[in-house]
């Protein structure tokens, strides 16, 4: 299992889905909330809401997310960690374009990095109920 103390700040970023269940809206349908986070600090640089009908964010959304995150962090990481079987196209492609190595790992390997954020999102969406 990957742990935050295995990384230096801005060494690796993690892409993951914050929500367990779709975020429902009356007007626009159901969405997943995708986050881009620093592996060492747990700081979430940015998020994107993506329709559940899409497997992953569009190229435009991913570039916007990377740009926002690069501005906030002051640079880019050497590695982008992604859950295996998810985000197969746009994130790895954009990472490569920026000189970042994309690495797919089992979601269980990422849980120590992402569990606090997903728990916080869950509590927020449920109005404080866990």
In this predicted structure, what is the pLDDT of residue 130?
47
Would you say 2 and 110 are in contact if contact means Cβ atoms under 8 Å apart? yes
Percent of the chain with pLDDT over 70: 96
If we measure between CA atoms, which residue out of 89, 47, 88, 85 comes closest to residue 68? Answer: 47
> Quick one: tokens of 122?
């869950």
If we measure between CA atoms, which residue out of 71, 74, 86 comes closest to residue 14? Answer: 86
d(CA 46, CA 72): 9
Read off the pTM.
0.90
In this predicted structure, what is the pLDDT of residue 122?
86
Would you say 10 and 20 are in contact if contact means Cβ atoms under 8 Å apart? no
The C-alpha R_g of the chain, in whole angstroms, comes to 14
**pLDDT (mean) for 36-63:** 93
Would you say 81 and 103 are in contact if contact means Cβ atoms under 8 Å apart? yes
DSSP 3: -
Sign of CA dihedral 129, 28, 55, 53: positive
> Quick one: tokens of 100?
């970042």
Question: Is residue 81 scored above 70 in pLDDT?
Answer: yes
């Amino acid at each position: 299992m990957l742990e935050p103390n295995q990384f230096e700040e801005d060494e690796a970023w993690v892409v993951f889905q914050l929500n367990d269940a779709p975020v429902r809206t009356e007007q626009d349908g159901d969405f997943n909330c995708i986050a881009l986070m620093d592996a060492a600090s747990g700081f979430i640089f940015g998020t994107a809401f993506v329709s559940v009908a899409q497997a992953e964010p569009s190229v435009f959304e991913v570039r916007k997310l990377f740009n926002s995150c690069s501005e906030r962090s002051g640079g880019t990481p050497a590695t982008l960690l992604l859950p295996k079987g998810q985000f197969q196209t746009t994130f790895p492609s954009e990472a490569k374009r920026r000189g970042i190595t994309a690495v797919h790992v089992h979601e269980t390997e990422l849980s120590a990095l992402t569990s606090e954020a997903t728990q916080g999102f869950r509590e927020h969406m449920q109005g404080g109920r866990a």
